[in-house]
Amino acid sequence: MIKGEVFGLSGESGCGKTVIAHCILKLVAPNGFIEGGKIMFEGKDVLYMSDEELRKYRWKDVAIIFQGAQSALNPLLLVNAHMVDTVLAHQKSSKNDIFERSGEFLKLLRLDPNLVLKMYPHELSGGMKQRSMSAMSLLLTPKLLILDEPTTALDMLTQRYLLKMLRDIHEETGITMFYITHDLTVMSEIVDRIGIMYLGNIVEIGKTKDIFYDPLHPYTEALINAIPSIVGDVIATPIPGPIPDPVNPPSGCNFHPRCPEATELCEKTKPELIEVEKGRLVACHKYSNPS
């Protein structure tokens, strides 16, 4: 990711998008582990941070809006208690200062702080919960904000409203955002660059316009074609075949069983992610071994 940009990550459900988000914060399930690699943030490898460094890093340097705000808030606490706990876990501050700062972000997200701060999560609509979580994630002015499917379970009008709020926040603060969703149509409205993920691997990275109008990887092209057209007949072409088992993925290129352009090389050898032109990266033998 480039500082100040909005980077998007997309792919079918189960491809590993949320796992990447959690790995950035080193939030791995008790039965999981990070096998290898590096997670670099401002020159430091997150994987080797101490518990104290991680405590300061999480939410102050990198904050996240978890998927499904309906279950991310404690149902027993008022919204103002969530705000206070978030700040006091990282720095000393008076409650009045926290409420004032919370109110500023809630107003930015077009919520009335005098009402919302005194409400329980069950008293908020889905959109209000999402925006309350967004305000909470911005309290400590993080350098990176991860948004994991922030429009899930929201109606279309609320989705567009939340996206506009996020765009406004980005323009006002310049915060770097990492936007995760399987919905490419939503992503097209907010991100600068897109990474396409398939079965745990990044298969293409490019500017949003290039991804939509000139996809290089066959999987990216298939994803674009699967979006229903709003011009003329409503046509969507589904990607053929089932998603392979991620525990026992296909040999070679993971997409080859579903790819109309697969060759014998694709079945045997996994392609590397290479830069085919400035800012365009793709993992496909069509570009690494052109015939």
Dump pLDDT digits (tens) for 245-288. 888 999 999 999 999 999 999 999 999 999 998 989 999 999 87
Whether the per-residue pLDDT at 77 is higher than 80: the answer is: yes
pLDDT above 90 covers what percent of the chain? Answer: 47
Q: What share of the chain is helix, strand, coil (3-state, %, to 5)?
A: 40, 15, 45
Dump pLDDT digits (tens) for 211-247. 999 999 999 999 998 887 666 666 678 888 888 888 8
Global pTM reads 0.87
Tokens at residue 166, please? 């996020």
Dump pLDDT digits (tens) for 142-170. 999 999 988 776 777 777 877 888 888 88
3-class secondary-structure state, position 39: coil
Per-residue model confidence (pLDDT) at position 256: 94
Whether the per-residue pLDDT at 194 is higher than 70: the answer is: yes
pLDDT above 70 covers what percent of the chain? Answer: 95
Whether the per-residue pLDDT at 291 is higher than 60: the answer is: no
Token look-up 């830069």 returns: 275
Question: Pseudo-torsion of CA 233, 236, 240, 243, nearest 10°?
Answer: -160
Residue-averaged pLDDT of the chain: 88
What does the H/E/C string look like for 134-195? HHHHHCCCCCEEEEECCCCCCCHHHHHHHHHHHHHHHHHHCCEEEEECCCHHHHCCCCCEEE
Dump pLDDT digits (tens) for 7-17. 999 998 888 89
Per-residue model confidence (pLDDT) at position 234: 60
What is the pLDDT confidence band of residue 69, given thresholds at 50, 70 and 90?
A: low
Per-residue model confidence (pLDDT) at position 227: 80
More confident residue, 199 or 110: 199
Instruction: Give the separation between CA 255 and CA 247, rounded to whole angstroms.
Output: 15
Per-residue model confidence (pLDDT) at position 230: 65
* Domains detected in the chain: 6-191 (3.40.50.300), 202-288 (no CATH)
Token look-up 């409203």 returns: 161
Dump pLDDT digits (tens) for 167-182. 888 888 889 999 998 8
Per-residue model confidence (pLDDT) at position 133: 87
Residue type (1 letter), 227: I
Per-residue model confidence (pLDDT) at position 237: 80
